[in-house]
Amino acid sequence: MRQFRQILLWPLQLIPRDTGAGDQDALAALMCGTDSHWAETEEAIPLDPGALQEHAYREYVSFLPHVQRFLYGGALARGGPIRVFARHDIAATRITPTSGEAPLAFNVARVELHFFQDVDVAILAVEIEGRDLALEDVQEVMYRFGRSYPAGWTDHGEAWHCPERVEWLDGKGRVLATSDYEQRDKFLSSVCRRQVPTIASHWKYLLAPLSREGEAPLTYGLVEHNWIPLMAYLAMGDPHSLTAHDHARLGLVLPPGDPASAPYAAAFLGDFNQRYCYDRFHDPRRGDDWIDTRMMCCGHAFVMVADARQEVVTDAERGLLAQFRNTFFLLGLIAHLHRAALLVLSDRLARIIGRLDTRRPQSVENFHADIRQALEIFLRFSHRYWFYEVSNQAVARDLFRLWSDHLATTRLYNDVREELRDMSEYLDSDLLRRSSATIVRLTVVAILSLIGTATTGFLGMNLLDEADAPLAIKVGYFGVVAVLTTMLTVYTVIKANRLAEFLDALADTRLYWRRKLQAFFAIWEKR
């Protein structure tokens, strides 16, 4: 393996403690604090043309205009909806894949946290780089490196699918943080105490000062399982030496195995090429001038295998490596943002429903407010972040479709939209029910008031001749009448539903007078 790159794309849910503060303000204050190693990056497209590198220009023009505004901001208003924070204190990592093996050293080329406004989602991007590696070592690193916590342990205490050890190193080779996958009690106690799995210590160090616990103004939660999505670039001296089973292991990110034996059943792998491979540039039978490149995507992973003997493959400014690290990276960022944001919103809706108690008026009122807020979030997501197509360039367009199909983002989007539509219809029907109930009460009060108004009007309002009485007596009469009228009105409103039933019975010509009298006396019955 001449050159190897792996980029982890870890979606995280951001949870603000203070709902009155903006997420982006809380994040900026936290990440750029005095005790933080993070710093906000400058604009991706600088104002000075001399500072714009060609790979950034090629990346920019790869996307459609509405996606450019999303990724880079508008021409007049420079700030887009994405804020990027980076840390540069971690220069390398040392990974021991399994017990007894020698550690593998990699440079750390990127540690970035991409924050997306309005959707409570951030994506951590970690890129490592290695050279002159054995294929088996690359497969082990791809399979084991991106594990946020163990899925279990063997009888000997080794964490399933996790590396034996991961170390972050600074520029002088000093160890900054070390993994602790083997500490079984730590992970078990976290689930027992909080019903949430904790993450390994080296990932905690990387995300600090963001935390999952404590009283920080902004915490984070996991969106999916413990295996972090990844992208991998493999520039090989002879990619034609790979067998079909090697391609299957790379494309599905499986541990190394016998190249002559399949990792899964033949029936399962029967349509591997059609389902997971993008072979526009893959044809091993072509001549030496052909740049043989195979791209594979299973949703969780995107893997590119290319021929390192071609200079354009390893060109970090204009070649395939530049395209992988820039354009394809953003394709993956958008695809995983779509999935993470929709999963977070779906979880939010489930929590809203879980908190609803129809017996408590305050709970119903909070439910209405939460649903309106969720509708606003989904509306902003749909108009700001949701795209069916991101590029009119054939490769970028096709890869984004393949990626999105495997992540099932369109199905998720439709499911969330249907859930919100159902809740919106519930709010509308509840509003209509309340409005109709209010109209019924007002109608009953108006009918009964009409009786009193007509009666007193017929008598000329001269029941009491107190025109010449002292002011105090007039005020007294007025107060008594006002109190009695108010009491009668309140009592009428209380009995409005039963009075409405009586009026319906009275107006129904199919009922006998006996049934109408029963409806009248039912006004005062206890139910």
Who contacts 367 (Cβ-Cβ below 8 Å, separation ≥6)? 352, 355, 356
- What pLDDT does 267 receive? 93
Same domain, 180 and 294: no
Same domain, 26 and 151: yes
- What pLDDT does 233 receive? 98
In single-letter form, the type of residue at position 279 comes to D
pLDDT tens digits, one per residue of 368-378: 888 889 999 99
Same domain, 246 and 103: no
Rounded Cα distance between 512 and 522, Å, is: 16
3-state helix, strand, coil in the chain (%, to 5): 45, 15, 35
Window from 232-236, 315-319, 373-377, 472-476 with minimum mean pLDDT = 472-476
Whether 75 contacts 96, CB under 8 Å = no
Distance from the first to the final alpha carbon of the chain: 82
**The token pair that represents 499 in the structure block:** 């009075």
Categorize the per-residue pLDDT at 440 as very low, low, confident or very high, splitting at 50, 70 and 90: low
From 307, 329, 354, give the residue that closes a domain. Answer: 307
Total of domains in the chain = 3
Same domain, 127 and 253: no
- 480 vs 419 pLDDT, higher one: 419
Residue 303: φ, ψ to 5°: -130, 130
Does pLDDT of 358 surpass 80? no
Share of the chain above pLDDT 70, in %: 84
Same domain, 148 and 198: yes
From 265, 283, 307, give the residue that closes a domain. Answer: 307
> Residue 466 is part of which domain span?
435-524
Rounded Cα distance between 258 and 270, Å, is: 18
Same domain, 279 and 251: yes
- What pLDDT does 21 receive? 46
Does pLDDT of 77 surpass 50? no
Mean pLDDT of the chain: 85
Categorize the per-residue pLDDT at 298 as very low, low, confident or very high, splitting at 50, 70 and 90: very high
Same domain, 199 and 249: no
Model-level pTM greater than 0.85? no
Range picked from 50-54, 107-111, 154-158, 387-391 for highest mean pLDDT: 107-111
From 307, 332, 354, give the residue that closes a domain. Answer: 307
pLDDT tens digits, one per residue of 398-417: 999 999 999 999 999 999 99
Same domain, 217 and 302: no
Q: Which residues of 448-477 are buried (b: 16+ CB within 10 A; e: fewer)?
A: beeeeeeeeeeeeeeeeeeeeeeeeeeeee
Same domain, 149 and 244: no
pLDDT tens digits, one per residue of 252-295: 999 999 999 999 999 999 999 999 999 999 988 887 678 889 99
Rounded Cα distance between 275 and 405, Å, is: 10
Q: Which residues of 502-511 are buried (b: 16+ CB within 10 A; e: fewer)?
A: bbebeeeeee
**The token pair that represents 173 in the structure block:** 């080779």
Sign of CA dihedral 440, 443, 449, 454: negative
Does pLDDT of 166 surpass 90? yes
Same domain, 262 and 121: no
Helix (H/G/I), strand (E/B), else coil: 92: strand
